[in-house]
Amino acid sequence: MIETPTSAALEAALRARLNPAASAWLDEALALARAASPSQEAGTGRRAPLPPWQMRFAAAGRHCGRKALAEPPEAADQRPAPAAPAAEPADDARILLLCAAQADHATLALLYERGTAAERRAVLRALPYLPGLGAAAVPLVEDALRANDTRLVAAAVGPYAARHLPPHSWRHAVLKCLFTGVPVSSVAELDRRAADDGELARMLEDYARERTAAGRQVPEDLYLVLASTGTTGHPEGSPLPPTAAPDGSPAHHPSAPGTGPQES
């Protein structure tokens, strides 16, 4: 089962990371979003002035970005390690604004259409926090899956896609991850949706044969997905997934040359 994330848990985690100035900015932004009327927002045109909370949505990167994180005293003289993409604080601030405004599909589509890559990513990540959308936001997910931005692709294959993306589109989303190098661990509910999916298995086998025929390495993640479909064999003519050598060192595929350029 897919657990529906809660904005309260997200806000608590973000507050623990932000410095006081950023937290105060977020307070004001959330108050503006809560005061907004979803019905009024739905009619906002592309060239109309932005409502105040949407201006905060666009400005979240400046006020709740990495520089807004509270630094632990013991780390004051150390260079902080880069955070994982999913932990981007500005993303979380934007998700909270969308939840506070109870953004409907029209508002989400407008913010996505005119947004930067970071703003689009936040819209995609917000979708599972807005259960009232139903399948209305599927076109946004499908648009992101046509992009070559791997962070957009990773955001697009989250819990919302697991619930609402049609089978054909979902299969191509999995292949898009393989094409672009997005780890299939980003695909929410992969095992559930791939189970007994013979068409997905066929597509994976075809892709593996094409890669091998072109002298390219088959992505290891392909075999993880193939196993989830229930297929026990391996595509004819394709290399087996890597196994450990007798001495415990990683084994290499003699039939798998170096990885070539990735498709997009």
Q: What is the 3-state secondary structure (H, E, C) of 132-180?
A: HHCCCCHHHHHHHHCCCCHHHHHHHCCHHHHHHCCHHHHHHHHHHHHHH
pLDDT one-digit tens code per residue, 76-102: 444 444 333 446 899 999 999 999 999
* pLDDT at residue 199 tops 80: yes
Tell me what the pLDDT averaged over the chain comes to: 83
Q: What percentage of the chain exceeds 90 in pLDDT?
A: 69
Query: What pLDDT score does 229 carry?
Result: 95
DSSP 49: P
Average pLDDT on 174-199 reads 97
pLDDT range class, residue 144, cuts 50, 70, 90: very high
pTM: 0.80
pLDDT for 241: 52
Calculate mean pLDDT across residues 61-74: 80
Would you state the pLDDT for residue 35? 93
pLDDT at 217: 94
Residue pair 211/217 in contact by the 8 Å Cβ criterion: yes
d(CA 138, CA 236): 35
Count the alpha carbons within 13 Å of 247 in the hemisphere toward its beta carbon.
2
Average pLDDT for residues 16-35, to the nearest whole number?
A: 95
